Amino acid sequence: MSAGQFVGRVGGIAAALGVGVAILNGSAIAAADNDAADVSSRGAASAGTSPSDSAPASRVASRKPFAAAAESAPSPTRGRVGPTTPDLTVSLPDLPSPSSLSGLGGGGSGPTALTVPAPAASVPAPSAAVPTSTSVTIPAPSAALPAATGPVALAVPPTYATTPPNPQATTTTPYGVLGDWMINKNGQVADWVGQRYCGSGSTAGNCTPETPGAKIMQEPINTIFVVKAPTLYQAEQNLNWAITISGFGSWPFSSIGYSGIVGTNSYKQFPRSGPLGLGLIGPLPFLKFQNGLIGSLLGIGPAYRDAPFWAANNHLRSFGGEPDGKGNFIFTASVSRENLDTTGGGLLPGHGFESYNVARQALVDKMVKASWISGASNQGLVAMNNAINPDDPKYTTGDADGLAQVIAIGSLLGGATVRTTPTIRVA
């Protein structure tokens, strides 16, 4: 090896070592063009040099400086150095300067924060009238409203019955169409067996037809029974039991042959007389023995009373029952209080009229008192409009107010009726 070759090879090795150190340190890069530092190996190589001798001198590493953000690349960019080696420098697009991002909240180093603009001032703020709570405030009930204590009474103008009374007159009620009057065996409104009534107020009383101002007494329907039962016969049994157990037994020796209208039918009086005509046994099936032996011979029979017929008593006769389509049977009744009348002049004292309203109240009170065994309950009053105007010169209904007391009777096996809202008439 000549001295020139030795020097050239040493220079090439030194250059290679320098480039390697620079690559490892990341602080020096050999240029790819001809104006880079000459390592003297190019001129020292001769034509006779073997490829293995010249190869180390022909390879250099090339790296072009980047921005500080690119210095963390995992590996350097390599290329072959030579006159014909293309420039392998990677050109990155120009990024906007931080100052140009000032409108977006930038201007500093590092990631740029975007600031969302505040709502325009023209957007109206929520109105103060918009509720901020979904709760609803319910006003307290007015102190003027009365508390519900039972059936509600609705006051309506008084309506008097027309005169002369029509025995077929009816009134529509919550319990169906009901006849206004008890009808006698002659088909006329019952008139207290011809008894006359005189005077008014505290001076009212019984009198004879010859007495000046004497009026014909008319006997209105003033009670309604709503009986829970599967059949008519069972309803009759339930009604008879409830009335009797409340203190109104079936007593003989009263006038008979009465009837009343319930719905579209006319029903004969209840209780029935039975085989002997005394009414001392319960109702028999198939409507048998309406008058019985005594009734057929003498025309007298039983009525429900709370005292014997020879004393003052409250008494009634009932008519029905008409099914209401709700599992009940409807009966009506005329209830009145009578006293012992000795003014007739006959051999035996008779009965004189005393009151409708007193008797009606006595009946409901006694039946409700025995409700634990009678099954009866007070359902309030409904308007029948069958009271006669006190100023009528010929006819009267005494102290009757034209209302009917409704009494419900449950089934012996249980069951209740539906309460309806009564209508109370006021004078």
User: Is 215 or 202 the better-scoring residue by pLDDT?
Assistant: 215
Is the separation of the CB atoms in 195 and 395 below 8 Å? no
**In 10 A of CB 17, how many CB atoms?**
10
pLDDT band at 145 (very low <50, low <70, confident <90, very high): very low
- For residue 401, give the amino acid letter: D
Q: How many residues does the chain have?
A: 427
> What confidence score (pLDDT) does residue 281 get?
85
What percentage of the chain exceeds 70 in pLDDT?
Answer: 56
Q: Which residues contact 399 (CB under 8 A, 6 or more apart)?
A: 355, 356, 357, 358
What is the pLDDT averaged over residues 108-128? Answer: 52
> What confidence score (pLDDT) does residue 190 get?
97
Q: Which residues of 303-321 are buried (b: 16+ CB within 10 A; e: fewer)?
A: bbbbeebeeebbbbbbbbb
User: From the DSSP assignment, how many helices (H) and strands (E) are in the chain?
Assistant: 7, 18
In sequence order, what E strands does 212-311 have?
215-217, 223-228, 249-255, 259-262, 265-270, 300-305
- Distance (Å, rounded) from C-alpha 328 to C-alpha 423? 21
- Does an H or E element contain 329, and which? strand 328-341
- Phi/psi-derived region of residue 115, left when phi > 0, alpha when psi is between -120 and 50, beta in every other case: beta
- Distance (Å, rounded) from C-alpha 394 to C-alpha 19? 147
Among 88-92, 149-153, 330-334, 355-359, which is the least confidently predicted range? Answer: 149-153
What is the overall mean pLDDT for the chain? Answer: 73
Q: Inform me whether the pLDDT recorded for 151 exceeds 60.
A: no
State pLDDT tens for residues 348-406: 566 789 999 999 999 999 999 999 998 999 999 999 999 999 999 999 999 999 999 99
State pLDDT tens for residues 390-404: 999 999 999 999 999
Is the separation of the CB atoms in 289 and 263 below 8 Å? no
Q: Model's pTM, two decimal places?
A: 0.63
Among 226-235, 317-326, 332-341, which is the least confidently predicted range? Answer: 332-341
Nearest CA to 221 out of 270, 268, 261, 175 is that of 261
Place of tokens 């709502």: 119
> What confidence score (pLDDT) does residue 27 get?
42
Q: Which residues contact 351 (CB under 8 A, 6 or more apart)?
A: 195, 309, 338, 339, 340, 341
> What confidence score (pLDDT) does residue 201 get?
64
pLDDT band at 336 (very low <50, low <70, confident <90, very high): very high
Is the separation of the CB atoms in 38 and 8 below 8 Å? no
- Distance (Å, rounded) from C-alpha 294 to C-alpha 291? 7
State pLDDT tens for residues 155-190: 555 689 999 999 999 999 999 999 999 999 999 999
State pLDDT tens for residues 262-300: 999 999 999 988 888 888 888 888 778 888 889 888 889
> What confidence score (pLDDT) does residue 284 get?
86
> What confidence score (pLDDT) does residue 88 get?
52
> What confidence score (pLDDT) does residue 28 get?
38
> What confidence score (pLDDT) does residue 119 get?
54
Is the separation of the CB atoms in 63 and 23 below 8 Å? yes
Q: Which residues of 333-371 are buried (b: 16+ CB within 10 A; e: fewer)?
A: bbbbbbbebeeeeeeeebbbbbbbbebbebbbebbeebb
- Does an H or E element contain 13, and which? helix 3-25
Domain locations in the chain as residue ranges: 3-87, 154-425
The 3-state DSSP class for residue 89 equals coil
Q: Which residues of 88-112 are buried (b: 16+ CB within 10 A; e: fewer)?
A: eeeeeeeeeeeeeeeeeebeeeeee
Among 74-83, 221-230, 395-404, which is the least confidently predicted range? Answer: 74-83
Q: What are phi and psi of 189, to 5 degrees?
A: -60, 130
pLDDT band at 92 (very low <50, low <70, confident <90, very high): low
Nearest CA to 411 out of 360, 357, 374 is that of 374
